[in-house]
Amino acid sequence: MESHTLPITPQTTIHFTITQTPTPNTNPLLIFLHYWGGSSTTWYKQTSPTSPHTLTKTHNTVTIDLRGWGQSTGPTTDPSPKDYSITPMASDIVSVINHLHTTTPLLTNGITLIGHSMGAKLCLAVLSTLPPPLLSLIKGLILLAPAPPSPLILPEEMSNQQRSAYTSEDSIRWTVTNVLSNTASLSANDMDMIVKDSSSGNALARDGWILYGMAEDITALVDGVVGRLEGREVRVYVVAGEEDAVESRERVKREVVGFLRAREGFRVEFEVLGGVRHLVPLEEPGVVRRAVEWVG
């Protein structure tokens, strides 16, 4: 696994890791975008060569720390939580993809974008803002427990509760156990990793999603990309947890699956995972391989 850092601005650097298959392959590059509170390590069950669910034997992979999370940094001079919302994060990802395109052969067989929750909304924003040469490389999207492209504005009390979810180890463990996951599907190492990731995000990154990213309306962006697909079809595999209290399967079906199926240019498959809550990549890691095989 190779570790890289790409400067975006003097204050923003994006860290990402690359794994390459032992022998050349003809499969698209898999790019992974994590959830609010996660990091590139969220995807270790899909990208660690020793994992029983690894995809690294068949696909090259890139896992990215979004700005303010993991080893990535973000604005610190006159900063605002808005600096950590969907639009600037999408710009970061486009910069990483362009960097890979101009400096490596990793994009030769195209790209599949894989996003979880906040990262899934980010996938749609990235798709919608890629310039034509890079847009033509997108083979498909995999959206796990996705936040929809439509805005969600929380009541002030609920917003404040979410903003405090990652303020201490105790609050993180409580949130994971009572809200985010079916902990019977997580190991002690999983829990420790989640605590480390969620506590490492800077305060502006934590607030950015709650105050701005969640409420950001990117539906017009997605509508705009349809005309730029030039008749191509993007395959989209959407996954919801049956017991997800964050992004309910009903909301995912209505505001993600229904939204995309109503637009030309998307072929959408939908799977609901029984007994699974919100942390799909950790609770049910094998679903990512099924999605990757369907997308092609």
pLDDT in tens, 214-273: 999 999 999 999 889 988 999 999 999 999 999 999 999 999 999 999 999 999 999 999
Mean pLDDT of 71-88: 93
Q: Which helix (H) or strand (E) holds 140?
A: strand 138-144
| CA distance linking residue 33 with residue 151, whole number of Å | 20
Q: Is the pLDDT of residue 165 over 90?
A: no
Give the pLDDT score at 159. Answer: 64
- More confident site: 158 or 133: 133
DSSP line for 143-157: EESPPPSS-----HH
pLDDT band at residue 282 under the 50/70/90 scheme: very high
Query: Going from the N-terminus, what domains does the chain have, and what CATH number goes with each?
Result: 2-295 (3.40.50.1820)
pTM: 0.96
Computed over every residue of the chain, the mean pLDDT equals 94
Nearest CA among 151, 155, 156, 89 for reference residue 123: 89
β-partners of residue 271 are 239
Give the pLDDT score at 77. Answer: 85
Q: Is the pLDDT of residue 178 over 70?
A: yes
pLDDT band at residue 11 under the 50/70/90 scheme: very high
DSSP line for 53-94: T--TTT--EEEEPPTTSTT-----SS--GGGGSHHHHHHHHH
Give the pLDDT score at 288. Answer: 98
CB atoms within 10 A of CB 80: 13
| Type of residue numbered 89 | M
Q: Quick one: how many helices (H) and strands (E) in the chain?
A: 13, 8
| 174 contact partners, CB below 8 Å, separation of at least 6 | none
Give the pLDDT score at 136. Answer: 95
